[in-house]
């Protein structure tokens, strides 16, 4: 038996911290060696961090990154390790996965497919490898096969695996028994199930072991990486590591029998026939022979489950329950807030303007979970005596009230949640500031002018926003913006007001999902105070008896329209027809009006989205104007809406 113990390590690097990331990888390598790992796979660009942007264009940065990889190679004398790094070659910068073996770098696999869709913009800085092999820094580079003492290994990088022309197919047809993938695949809800299908499907189709390592943590500002390394092999099921945890790195291992895989290939006539057509030519993978001492694993390490039947397939996780999906979003929110707070190195406390409503409640819960994940005593925050503060003291809330519009119900709901979480909260009146703002505004519009109701509503939000930022200056605070995706889509927030702050963790979550997440948080962590918050109808409380849904439309309808229009990119006519199908009891003309209203608001408020703070990407739909939904500020949708006015259901 040719037994190989494969390890996948998921690490949480800091962008640009080359020596620190090398130290992190060194810890992981040492642990893998202690656990008897023969081949270790680590994530894409693990030495440099993934979200480099234009920083990678500085000439010395890729070279300094590779220097750190070479330093790391010196400790890899008895273990083979793939490490992700930028690779500089003349005017080109490649995304590489270097193999460290025998104390040196023996070759570099280069990424072939560069995503330039959604939040990705890799084509701006990186060059995709085309085919075949070359030499860079005196080393073989490109599409490579490595003949190691225990078997043949090939590598691909992240997006390569998602391509219909994945390099793994060519690598396997030319002999690869193990395919490794170093990835930087950001979290979106439910994405892990798709990754499982890709990893398990590749292992089964290629009759090879497939090892997948992903980044962990928030490595810049918007993207959360969830870890969850996987190892799959035909007949051995899927081994999956932890996701969304607070650790700096995780290690997952599995033993595979390469002789068993070769037996599968030998017995499969389709495999034999296919390989006959894979004759070598210059565009095919280059074989790199690595000769180093190797001690084979003992037969006692074979992947056998005591008591398990060989006739029954190993169970594999194929889907998540609704509560599991909500839990992973809650965990991703907390991880994103924690890493942003810590890695910015600019803040001592998290500040939340708690309104008693659902959005600020979810924001506070995310911050509370984020701070609990920090060591206690921990990073940065100080209490009044100058000692290290426990986690809950790193967060502070204010309920900023006006006499006319802030209700007793929302005040009690806000105070109840903060008290249950053990977080500081003070109720502070902004009535005096609001009265003064009205007086000054009256002078500004002049005699004969009229103060519009909207101006008075926004004045309250702007007072609150300014006060929160001024307070942040006093305590080195990070102000969390509490707007959700539904409000973000239709501009239902105040520029210079409630969209002012340092970070917007829930801006990628629509209102209906906010509700579900709060319900799940209440159940998961026994938070009884959330019940009072969910009992209140959504209201900005900026005018008498104000109702969000009365001013907009029911949030379930709004979120359905948002998805159909922005995620599915349906025409307004199709959106209306689908809405009529989903809501058969609703007046079609009313639905037509809501679709029209949404489309107009969506288009008219792109300028507001352009000015909003950075937020976390949680779902496939991402309205962030810089990395997600690139929508024109100046445009016309009049023709589309005219077609909607004439459209019929039949």
Q: Name the residue ranges covered by the structural domains of the chain.
A: 3-297, 323-646
pLDDT band at 282 (very low <50, low <70, confident <90, very high): low
pLDDT of residue 318: 45
Rounded CA-CA distance 597/232 in Å is 49
pLDDT band at 546 (very low <50, low <70, confident <90, very high): confident
Rounded CA-CA distance 577/583 in Å is 10
Over 60: is that where the pLDDT of 592 sits? yes
pLDDT of residue 74: 94
321: three-class secondary structure by DSSP: coil
User: Any idea what DSSP says for residue 563?
Assistant: I
195 closest CA partner among 165, 162, 225, 222 = 162
Cα–Cα distances in angstroms (integers) from residue 71 to residues 103, 284, 371, 575, in the given order:
9, 31, 35, 56
Over 60: is that where the pLDDT of 309 sits? no
Terminal Cα-to-Cα distance of the chain (whole angstroms): 67
Token pair of 342, please? 């810590």
Rounded CA-CA distance 264/365 in Å is 51
Rounded CA-CA distance 25/213 in Å is 13
Rounded CA-CA distance 303/245 in Å is 27
pLDDT band at 360 (very low <50, low <70, confident <90, very high): very high
* More confident: 419 or 311: 419
Q: What is the mean pLDDT of residues 576-601?
A: 93
Q: What is the mean pLDDT of residues 544-566?
A: 92
Find the angle CA(618)-CA(51)-CA(214) to the nearest 5 degrees: 65
Q: How many CA atoms lie within 13 A of 63 on its CB side?
A: 7
The tens digit of pLDDT for each residue in 80-114 reads 999 999 999 988 999 999 999 999 999 999 999 99
pLDDT of residue 260: 84
Over 60: is that where the pLDDT of 560 sits? yes
The CATH topology of domain 323-646 is Rossmann fold (3.40.50)
Q: What are the phi and psi torsion angles at 256 (to 5°)? A: -120, 150
Q: Indicate the average pLDDT of the chain.
A: 88
Q: Are 230 and 632 in contact (CB under 8 A)?
A: no
Least confident of 154-163, 287-296, 351-360: 287-296
Over 90: is that where the pLDDT of 281 sits? no
Over 90: is that where the pLDDT of 378 sits? no
Q: Hey, which CATH number is domain 3-297, 3.40.50.720, 3.60.110.10, 3.30.1330.60, 3.40.50.970?
A: 3.60.110.10
User: Any idea what DSSP says for residue 54?
Assistant: G
pLDDT of residue 551: 93
pLDDT of residue 381: 40
Q: How many residues does the chain have?
A: 650
The tens digit of pLDDT for each residue in 335-355 reads 999 999 999 889 999 999 999
Q: What is the mean pLDDT of residues 41-48?
A: 95
pLDDT band at 314 (very low <50, low <70, confident <90, very high): low
Long-range contacts of 55-61 (CB under 8 A, 24+ apart): 55/15, 55/16, 56/86, 56/93, 56/125, 56/126, 57/93, 57/125, 59/88, 61/16, 61/86
User: Any idea what DSSP says for residue 228?
Assistant: -
Over 50: is that where the pLDDT of 379 sits? no
The tens digit of pLDDT for each residue in 450-460 reads 889 899 998 99
The tens digit of pLDDT for each residue in 126-163 reads 989 988 889 999 999 999 999 999 999 999 999 999 98
Q: What is the mean pLDDT of residues 598-614?
A: 90
User: String of b and e for 65-83 (b: at least 16 CB within 10 Å)?
Assistant: bbebbeebbebbeebbbbb
Q: Are 274 and 172 in contact (CB under 8 A)?
A: no
Q: What is the mean pLDDT of residues 52-74?
A: 90
Rounded CA-CA distance 530/539 in Å is 16
Q: What order of strands is seen across the sheet that includes strand 151-157? A: 237-240, 230-233, 209-214, 178-183, 151-157, 144-148, 286-289
214: three-class secondary structure by DSSP: strand
Over 50: is that where the pLDDT of 384 sits? no
pLDDT of residue 313: 53
DSSP codes, 355-403: -SSHHHHHHHHHHHHHHHTS-SS-SS-B-TTSSBPPGGGGEEEEEEE-T
* More confident: 402 or 389: 402
Q: Residue 41 pairs with which residues in a beta bridge?
A: 8, 82
pLDDT of residue 390: 63
The tens digit of pLDDT for each residue in 247-265 reads 899 999 999 988 888 888 8
pLDDT of residue 423: 94
The tens digit of pLDDT for each residue in 447-485 reads 878 889 899 998 999 999 999 999 999 999 999 999 999
Q: Residue 399 pairs with which residues in a beta bridge?
A: 427
Q: What is the mean pLDDT of residues 415-444?
A: 92
The percent of residues above 70 in pLDDT, for the chain, comes to 93
Query: Which pTM was predicted?
Result: 0.85
pLDDT band at 280 (very low <50, low <70, confident <90, very high): low
Least confident of 269-278, 507-516, 529-538: 269-278
pLDDT of residue 377: 38
């Amino acid at each position: 038996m040719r037994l190989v113990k494969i390890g996948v390590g998921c690490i949480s690097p800091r962008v640009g911290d080359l020596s620190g990331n090398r130290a992190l990888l060194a810890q992981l390598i040492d642990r893998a060696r202690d656990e008897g790992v023969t081949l270790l796979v680590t994530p894409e660009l693990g030495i440099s961090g993934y979200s480099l942007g234009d920083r990678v264009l500085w000439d010395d940065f890729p070279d300094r990154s590779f220097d750190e990889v070479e330093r790391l190679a010196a400790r890899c004398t008895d273990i083979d390790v793939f490490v992700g790094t930028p690779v500089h070659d003349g005017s080109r910068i490649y995304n590489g996965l270097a193999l460290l073996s025998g104390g040196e770098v023996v070759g570099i696999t280069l990424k072939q497919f560069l995503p330039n869709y959604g939040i990705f913009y890799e084509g701006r800085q990186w060059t995709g490898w085309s085919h075949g092999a070359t030499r860079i820094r005196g080393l073989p580079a490109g599409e490579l096969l490595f003949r190691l003492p225990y078997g043949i290994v090939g590598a691909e990088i992240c997006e390569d695996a998602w391509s219909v022309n994945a390099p793994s197919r060519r690598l396997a047809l030319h002999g690869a028994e193990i395919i490794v993938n170093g990835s930087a695949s950001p979290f979106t809800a439910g994405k892990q199930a798709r990754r499982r299908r890709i990893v398990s499907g590749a292992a089964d189709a290629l009759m090879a072991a497939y090892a997948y390592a992903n980044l962990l943590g928030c490595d810049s500002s918007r993207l959360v990486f969830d870890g969850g390394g996987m190892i799959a092999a035909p007949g051995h099921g899927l081994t999956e590591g932890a996701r969304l945890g607070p650790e700096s790195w995780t290690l997952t291992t599995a033993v595979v029998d390469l002789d068993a895989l070769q037996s599968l290939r030998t017995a499969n006539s389709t495999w034999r026939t296919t390989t006959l057509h894979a004759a070598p030519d210059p565009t095919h993978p280059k074989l790199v022979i690595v000769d180093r001492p190797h001690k084979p694993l003992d037969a006692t390490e074979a992947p056998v489950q005591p008591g398990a039947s060989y006739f029954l397939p190993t169970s594999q996780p194929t889907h998540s329950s609704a509560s599991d999906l909500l839990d992973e979003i809650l965990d991703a929110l907390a991880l994103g807030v924690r890493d942003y707070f810590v890695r910015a190195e600019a803040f001592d406390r998290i500040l939340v303007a708690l309104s008693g409503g659902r959005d600020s409640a979810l924001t506070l819960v995310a911050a509370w979970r984020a701070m609990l994940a920090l060591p206690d005593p921990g990073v940065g925050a100080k209490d009044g005596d100058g000692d290290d503060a426990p986690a809950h003291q790193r967060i502070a809330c204010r309920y900023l009230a006006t006499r006319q519009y802030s209700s007793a119900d929302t005040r009690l709901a806000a105070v109840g949640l903060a008290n249950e979480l053990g977080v500081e909260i003070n109720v502070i009146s902004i009535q005096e500031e609001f009265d003064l703002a009205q007086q000054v505004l009256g002078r500004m519009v002049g005699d004969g002018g009229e103060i519009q109701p909207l101006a008075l509503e926004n004045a309250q939000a702007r007072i609150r926003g300014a006060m929160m930022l001024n307070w942040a200056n006093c305590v080195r605070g990070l102000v969390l913006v509490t707007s959700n995706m539904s409000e973000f889509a239709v501009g239902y927030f105040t520029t210079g007001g409630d969209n002012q702050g340092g970070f917007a963790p829930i801006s990628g979550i629509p209102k209906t999902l906010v509700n579900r997440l709060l319900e799940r948080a209440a159940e998961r962590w026994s938070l009884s105070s959330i019940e009072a918050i969910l009992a209140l109808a959504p209201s900005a409380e900026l005018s008498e008896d104000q109702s969000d849904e009365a001013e907009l439309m029911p949030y379930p309808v709004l979120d359905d329209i948002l998805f159909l229009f922005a995620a599915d990119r349906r025409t307004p006519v199709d959106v209306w027809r689908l809405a009529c199908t989903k809501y058969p009891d609703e007046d079609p003309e009313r639905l037509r009006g809501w679709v029209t209203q949404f489309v107009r608001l969506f288009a008219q408020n792109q300028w507001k989205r352009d000015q909003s703070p950075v937020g976390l990407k949680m779902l496939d739909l991402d309205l962030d104007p810089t990395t997600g939904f690139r929508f024109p500020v100046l445009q016309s949708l009049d023709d589309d809406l005219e077609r909607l006015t004439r459209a019929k259901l039949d």
